[in-house]
Chain A
């Protein structure tokens, strides 16, 4: 098993230890010499999977996870769902004890299950339960291949205790081999559909390119720049991945709403929610929906999600009525689309494109100036404004090879509006499933990936997110994972405060009690003390904005020594 796993070239395998996989655990650290994969000790299976989630988005290849098929799988389930919604491959191996006559009395029975994958099958791409070592070898390769084929998603191979621990018979030994792995090339859009999309885009007066999880690799950014520049068309990034440089003059994310309202053609690249891009629901006394686009606006969709659909969990969003639907990987399709657009462009259209590009460049500059002006309000406030915190951090990292590995808690989009994002690893998107608790472990996982590249990993850490499974900070300290965490501590599950307030208003009952059950105060959590107790250098709580810059400088010194460092900052709500 370890020989097979080593063939897959995992750098790390994250796990909270468990007896149902004690055999492979021991083999990895002794027979495998604890290298490729190296064992990463986690305090919760949700942390292990979320670390693998963040690691993939920084590194571009999966991390393995080991867990119990029962209790571990249940702990891991939420993080698996996040990875599924975020189209991220996580390679999960789960232990089990199938032969009831060989189980030890007591706990081993509670930690055994007929079908370990059942509880997560709705939100993984594939699973298997191999019954022999040759079977395991094929399933291990197949799982990797399936996970890495867009749309990418988690996979699960359940490994029985007998397979892990029993001696290998002569008969089985004679059949042992490691199958060759060939990862599938991503599917490219149909040539006819590409040509039609190009025709629509080139002839459009006001095209808009919208990208969510479009750029899987650095090449995806390059291709999207090429398309935008070929058309001089605005790009709106929904932030699922680092799709487009934030300071590129065609980046019009800040102007998305009016551009979409005025568009005659919209290209959606790996959008989870095309309907929500062109429509909206008002959460008022009654729920009403309306279109955000003009009648007749042509919608073009390129997404690999059209190739894989499941029904139980409803993350697929409302049905979008598009005009061209390419069931294909956007990044793989973009080069053909760029060339098709160039071929279809006449000199007249080129002239119109250039004029459009000039207007968009001015709009981009205006949006940046507007963001800077807005950031100045409440600059000296306490609790500290999120704009101030964002820019104090930017001042200290902008000259470094930095990466914003996670951003948990909603902060008025200050980073995307005010920072200059250029490289593919500088923004990794969100959790996918909006399950709180992703931010801290995903940041630690991404920072683990960034460590060997010498990047300065930075995360903006929400207080509610921190409290889900704070043991991951011990993991960061134990494995010497350099990471700067600056807390957006608004002392509340703030989104929920607003939801309760909305209900109170709707019921006309008064709104002074919305804090009950939604705030994290009385007592205020001392996050720095918690982090220190887990072995992490930490400062705070900081309430004076003038103390923030020096604190960040001190923290960066620690991170540059190869350790995590956390700053607790008491902030405005958003």
Chain B
């Protein structure tokens, strides 16, 4: 018998609540390639297909992503419940593309009636 409920609570240090990065800190990446990697590397499992995040698993990552340096550092050496992803598993180039994808997410529409 399987047990299913074990919530991974990721600390908020990579939360999109953090101030926006400096423009010169953003590396060039391919958002379309990043979108595919976001799925194939399983990022979506905790953060959702649109990087929207989940209170149960992992924070929202975009559209206002944290600075790439902090993003990369956290992926390599997370301090919360997130497992570490080494450069062997996720290359620096792939990480750059993933970052481009999460940074390119659209801000939600304002005034959604069902959320009033």
Contacts and interface: CB of A to CB of B under 8 A. Distances in A.
A501 B47 CA distance: 14
Interface of chain B, main secondary structure: loop
A494 B44 CA distance: 11
Nearest to B58: A574
Interface stretch (B18-26, B27-35, B65-73, B107-115): B107-115
A494 B47 CA distance: 12
A392 B49 CA distance: 20
Interface stretch (A61-69, A130-138, A327-335, A429-437): A429-437
Contacts of A169: none
A498 B8 CA distance: 9
A514 B42 contact: yes
B37 to A, nearest CB: 10
Contacts of A379: 108-109, 112
A376 B114 CA distance: 10
B107 to A, nearest CB: 8
A514 B41 CA distance: 9
Interface string A370-390: 001011111111010110100
A129 interface: no
A573 interface: yes
B85 A511 contact: yes
B2 to A, nearest CB: 5
A119 B6 CA distance: 27
A23 B45 CA distance: 52
B56 A574 contact: yes
A383 B41 CA distance: 18
Contact of A510 (B5, B53, B60, B89): B89
Interface string A272-310: 000000000011110000000000000000000000000
B104 interface: no
B5 A511 contact: no
Contacts of B7: 410
Contacts, number: 134
Q: Which of B41, B45, B60, B88 has the most CB of A within 10 A?
A: B45
Contact of A410 (B49, B56, B115): B56
Contact of B112 (A376, A381, A497, A572): A376
A508 interface: yes
A501 B8 CA distance: 12
B108 A376 contact: yes
B52 A464 contact: no
A417 B57 CA distance: 16
Given A377-B60, A514-B42, A573-B44, A385 B52 contact: yes
A386 B49 CA distance: 12
Contacts of B81: 282-284
Contact of A78 (B1, B108, B109): B1
A495 B112 contact: no
Contact of A377 (B56, B84, B90, B108): B108
Contact of B5 (A392, A430, A574): A430
Contacts of B41: 511-512
8 contacts: A282-B80, A284-B83, A376-B112, A377-B60, A379-B108, A379-B112, A385-B52, A395-B114
Given A433-B3, A436-B1, A511-B85, 20 more contacts: A284-B81, A372-B115, A376-B108, A383-B49, A385-B48, A388-B114, A391-B115, A392-B114, A412-B56, A436-B2, A493-B4, A498-B42, A498-B45, A505-B84, A508-B86, A572-B48, A572-B49, A573-B44, A573-B46, A574-B46
Instruction: List 7 tightest A-B contacts by C-beta distance, closest first.
Output: A505-B83, A376-B108, A574-B54, A377-B52, A378-B50, A378-B52, A412-B54
